[in-house]
A and B are shown apart, each in its own frame.
Chain A
């Protein structure tokens, strides 16, 4: 059974703090690693699709790194804002093609 783990489960930070979360995934049969941002009552929003070991991607204040050999990815948010409050999901895509999701990290940013 393929397992995707995310930590921490939840995180409370003050506005302006920088933060990061971890996603651990199987290191074999790797195809891609997806990051999503999911606000309540909205669609999960795609942040990054990462495919290459050592990949680093950036979108505004959010960036992500990928290590496929050891099976982990980090998501960083610099200078958190209240509008960053959401659940951040990672999903492993193996050679079979299906997405396998972690349980998510719920971020709350206090003004």
Chain B
């Protein structure tokens, strides 16, 4: 399976600021996925990032709030913009490998104060 390096592992940010989360994969993958888990909630898909095209966002998530970059087949970033306490969550990136299995990064635990 692919190995994903995700940074930062955690951060505490002031409201109104932005944080960029990075994921580096050790092999080339077509699609990368970004998830969020708010406290007490399910892991929820934010968007799918394809190399060379704009990310596809799920209902309830918009590009202005969560801009995504996918400059090549091994790297992607997610930015959480103009943060509020409601953005406090664990953010995970993920890729598909093999027979439909998903590999995840180790997550970014974000606290907005």
Q: List the interface of chain A (C-beta within 8 A of B).
A: 4, 32, 34, 36, 41-44, 46, 49, 89, 91, 93, 98-104
Chain B interfacial residues counted at CB < 8 A:
21
Contact A43 B104 (CB under 8 A): yes
* Cβ of B11 to closest chain A Cβ, rounded Å: 14
Contact B42 A103 (CB under 8 A): yes
Contact B101 A103 (CB under 8 A): no
Contact A101 B100 (CB under 8 A): no
Q: Which of B41, B44, B107, B109 contacts A43 (CB 8 A)?
A: B107
**Can you list 13 A-B pairs, Cβ within 8 angstroms, ordered by A?**
A4-B42, A34-B101, A42-B106, A43-B104, A43-B105, A43-B106, A91-B43, A98-B58, A99-B45, A101-B43, A101-B44, A102-B42, A103-B42
Cα separation A103 to B41 with both chains bound (whole Å): 6
Knowing A99-B102, A103-B40 are in contact, say whether A44-B45 is a contact too (CB < 8 A). no
Residues in A neighbouring B4, C-beta threshold 8 A: 43
Q: Indicate whether B99 reaches chain A with its CB closer than 8 angstroms.
A: yes
Q: Indicate whether B92 reaches chain A with its CB closer than 8 angstroms.
A: yes
* Cβ of A47 to closest chain B Cβ, rounded Å: 10
Cα separation A67 to B9 with both chains bound (whole Å): 37
* Cβ of A20 to closest chain B Cβ, rounded Å: 20
Q: Indicate whether B103 reaches chain A with its CB closer than 8 angstroms.
A: yes
Contact A41 B106 (CB under 8 A): yes
For B98, the closest partner residue in chain A by CB is: A49
Knowing A98-B45, A102-B42 are in contact, say whether A49-B99 is a contact too (CB < 8 A). yes
Residues in A neighbouring B45, C-beta threshold 8 A: 98-99
* Cβ of A86 to closest chain B Cβ, rounded Å: 14
Closest 4 CB pairs of A and B: A101-B43, A101-B42, A43-B104, A44-B104
Contact A46 B9 (CB under 8 A): no
Contact B107 A41 (CB under 8 A): yes
